[in-house]
A = this chain, B = another copy of it.
């Protein structure tokens, strides 16, 4: 079993004496991947016993004698998955941490290193997009989806956002529009012939971001430009992608995948790209162009309540454990 909470014992000085960094965790969200990891259905399964949580922000309490990039008081986020962030204190090695400016809001810091990073990479690594271009995404109300809307808006890229129909639809539409969404529509609307009217107002997307799979992905693919790319980063519908052969041959679409954890592993020897991206995202936060998703703060001791809340359908608020 994965132990959700490590012991609260403060690590002793000797454990931080070389490259170790004693971090006091401040806040850590519960992401869908964390749940899948506990359920044993994720591609990344830590050795047991293990501490849950892959994201969060902490404050450096003390550093080992070989540590050069961090000092007590600094804010840090994980550079890697599997650090185990749902705890009060930990000693991490220096290279597993990235420093963050201390003047960004706590909930922004706690939710910065997975979802906004995923959104940023998908918007920049697959197609060269510029002001006036458009992209389409499903699961637009997810943590990644909201970051995509905001980062794209900051870059002048128009977003076409697909969400599931739901009881409080108008409220969600209004919130996404206030974040900078150009268009918000439901999965049902995506299948209607009226979609052609939408593309009189906005160019056909060169990039589609797919977190759902199944029919939703097939429908998005119908609307992307000739030679466009669809990037799959999630499979919420638990159904495979179905793609007509003609889309590959005659429309020359490219289908790719993205996984932040793998990207971070691939960049392990070149941490500058990660720290550069974190800096760029913090700049957007400073300018008010990137905010945290709607969050519910739950004290660490009430983790059971937070875990249960995180697994309910149509939860628009991210559960964040605070220490």
Contact = CB atoms under 8 A, between A and B. Distances in A.
Contacts of A245: 213, 232, 234-235, 240-241
B244 A240 contact: yes
Interface residues of A, number: 28
B241 A235 contact: no
Interface stretch (A59-67, A84-92, A182-190, A253-261): A253-261
B252 A247 contact: no
B242 A247 contact: no
A248 to B, nearest CB: 3
B242 A252 contact: no
B255 A254 contact: yes
A243 interface: yes
A256 B254 contact: yes
A240 to B, nearest CB: 5
A233 interface: yes
Interface string A150-170: 000000000000000000000
A273 to B, nearest CB: 17
B243 A255 contact: yes
A254 B242 CA distance: 15
A249 B242 contact: no
A247 B246 CA distance: 21
Interface of A: 43, 213, 231-235, 240-259, 262
20 contacts: A43-B246, A43-B250, A213-B245, A232-B248, A233-B249, A234-B249, A235-B244, A235-B245, A240-B245, A241-B242, A241-B245, A242-B243, A243-B255, A247-B257, A248-B258, A249-B258, A252-B262, A253-B257, A254-B254, A255-B256
